Amino acid sequence: MDRELIAHFPVVLAVARRGGFGAAAAELGMSPSAVSHAVKTVEERLGLPLFARTTRSVALTEAGAGFVATVGPALTEIGEAVERLRAAKGRITGVLRLNAPRIAQRMALTAVIAEMAWRHPDLVIEVTSDDGLVDIVAGGFDAGVRLGEMIAQDMTAVRLTPPFKAIMVAAPGYIQARGEPGTIADLADHNCIGFRLISTGGDYAWEVQENGVDTAVKVRGSARVTDPLYARDLALAGVGLAYVFEPLVREDIREKRLRWVLADTAIEEPGLFLYFPRRAAQAPKLRAFIDVARAVLKLRA
């Protein structure tokens, strides 16, 4: 067994996962030249090209795809076995990679990660901010966080937050200047802060209840964002009406920095969930995170 060659396998997998040498280097904390050297070493020893390289892209060859499909699961099993042994001695180690939208970081993850730092200081939690819908397995993530309705049925889901409402808010100054909408139809006369969907590039239609029926309303205005937290900031600045999750602006409403408008039209979202492949449920680092999340959320509730 070529031990030097095996040491380079995680680098090859990172390049395949990230789709490039630069991105893999950033993930691994290596220089791009070191990553390139590791891949070249593996290819030379195997006598086969694993990647087809151009000036613009890096893609797996047929041999590379077969290599990744075989070696990837094997290295994952080895890593999990090592983690289980360390966990048996009371140590949770390694890197837990999470993919989560920005709202989840503020609404749930920050408190959990803070507690994890005290309980399991040997574990590194890496959070990738991503408001699009990604394949967490293909992306090399241990778990993701999304609204319950956005999680594939073949995933295991653990609740992180209670259900919450999606609401419309505006600054008192804006309402004083432009008036307060009394009906959904009145939104056409207001400056509404739009939201661009990263996954499709389309504009998000605000989901509301009208006469007990869920409906989607297309809005228009002078600003459009891809970050719900920035929509809140713009609303605070008096730009216009923002459509946000109520927990994100609860304190603003309490302190009268924002006013909740058309309250009877608000719909309820299922809440945020941590999700992951079923086979990953017993990984010590993920189990530790779930246990701490449940404890922290119970204390906060």
**Can you give the pLDDT at residue 301?**
43
Residue given tokens 């990738």 in the structure block: 128
pTM of the model: 0.72
**Can you give the pLDDT at residue 90?**
64
Packing angle between helix 21-28 and helix 9-18, nearest 10 degrees? 120
Q: Is 96 helix (H, G, I), strand (E, B) or coil?
A: strand
- One digit per residue, the tens of pLDDT, for the chain of length 301 reads 566 778 888 888 888 888 888 888 888 888 888 888 888 988 888 888 998 887 777 888 888 888 888 888 887 777 777 767 766 566 788 899 999 999 999 999 999 999 999 999 999 999 998 887 788 887 889 999 998 877 888 899 999 999 999 999 999 999 999 999 999 999 999 999 999 887 777 889 999 998 888 999 999 999 999 998 999 999 999 999 999 999 999 999 999 999 999 999 999 999 999 999 988 877 889 999 999 999 998 755 4
Q: Which residues have CB under 8 Å from 275's CB, separation 6+?
A: 136, 143, 144, 145, 146, 151, 152, 155, 156, 157, 158
* Count of alpha carbons within 13 angstroms of residue 196, beta-carbon side: 8
Q: Is 98 helix (H, G, I), strand (E, B) or coil?
A: strand
**Can you give the pLDDT at residue 236?**
98
Q: For residue 61, which of 76, 74, 42, 80 has the smallest C-alpha distance?
A: 42
**One-letter identity of residue 39:** V
Maximal CA-CA distance, the chain? 75
